[in-house]
């Protein structure tokens, strides 16, 4: 039997991440030595999804793979954090970083720009599928997930806490990607699929928040989000 390749899985805590990890574990080509998650220093929550670190650790414990948090701050950018993490794991014989992206080529190119010079190859098990195909695979997987963040101008606060199930697609407004791949919504996965036991969590309140993003041309774009505050 061929020796499995050591890999690190870049874990967001959401549905596409859980599906991509399940796919990798079922195929058995890679030995996933760690889940890597970027954490905001100020909030102690995951980047974008805003999942508290203690819940991310519960997910990792349920899956049975250790979590490696990378803390980002004003002093440490995503590029710097990923470079440090890649160097750390490369010393352990890791040559592959796995992500759950579907079709955003600019995001993939950005990751490759950081990791390829370090001798790390990207693996994207969901890449090239349509959102419809990914959603069908997700529903078949048995993974349980709920929406915890929406882009406010795309999905209103009533979508917070919504379970991703067979009826979900019919409730989406026109123009919203079925998998939220363009950032329309983000999720927290808590049972089924790669999880050995259910993660219990509670949505304590919903906030309207604002994030700013610096574009390549130097301009700044603001987006408002409905954000679930979750605990468990």
Q: Residue 56 has what pLDDT? A: 97
- Segments in the chain forming alpha helices (H): 15-27, 53-63, 78-90, 105-115, 131-141, 168-171
Angle in degrees, 0-180, between the axes of helices 131-141 and 15-27, rounded to the nearest 10: 70
Q: Per-block average pLDDT, block size 10, for the chain (232 residues)?
A: 88 96 94 96 87 97 97 90 94 95 87 93 95 96 97 95 93 92 94 97 93 61 89 90
In eight-state DSSP terms, residue 52 is B
Residue 24 CA to residue 13 CA, distance in Å, equals: 16
Q: How many domains are contained in the chain?
A: 1
> In terms of residue numbers, what domain contains 3?
1-232
Q: Residue 67 has what pLDDT? A: 98
**3-class DSSP state of 147:** strand
Q: Residue 146 has what pLDDT? A: 97
**Residue 168 sits in a domain of what CATH number?**
3.40.50.620
Q: Residue 137 has what pLDDT? A: 97
Q: Residue 206 has what pLDDT? A: 95
């Amino acid at each position: 039997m061929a020796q499995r390749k050591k890999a690190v899985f870049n874990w967001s805590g959401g549905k596409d991440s859980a599906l991509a990890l399940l796919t990798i574990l079922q195929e058995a080509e890679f030995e996933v030595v760690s889940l890597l998650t970027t954490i905001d220093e100020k909030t102690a929550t995951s980047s974008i999804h805003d999942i508290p670190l203690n819940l991310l650790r519960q997910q990792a414990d349920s899956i049975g793979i250790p979590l490696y948090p990378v803390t980002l701050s004003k002093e440490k950018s995503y590029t710097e954090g990923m470079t440090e993490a890649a160097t750390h794991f490369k010393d352990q014989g890791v040559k592959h970083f796995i992500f759950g992206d579907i079709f955003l080529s600019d995001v993939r190119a950005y990751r490759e720009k950081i990791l390829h010079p370090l001798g790390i190859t990207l693996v994207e098990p969901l890449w090239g599928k349509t959102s419809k195909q990914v959603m069908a695979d997700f529903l078949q997987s048995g993974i349980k997930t709920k929406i915890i963040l929406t882009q406010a101008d795309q999905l209103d606060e009533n979508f917070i806490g919504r379970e991703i199930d067979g009826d979900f697609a019919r409730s989406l407004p026109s123009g919203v990607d079925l998998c939220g791949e363009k950032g329309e919504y983000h999720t927290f996965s808590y049972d089924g699929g790669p999880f050995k036991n259910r993660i219990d969590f509670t949505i304590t309140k919903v906030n309207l928040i604002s994030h700013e993003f610096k574009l390549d041309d130097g301009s700044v774009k603001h987006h408002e989000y409905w954000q679930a505050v979750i605990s468990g």
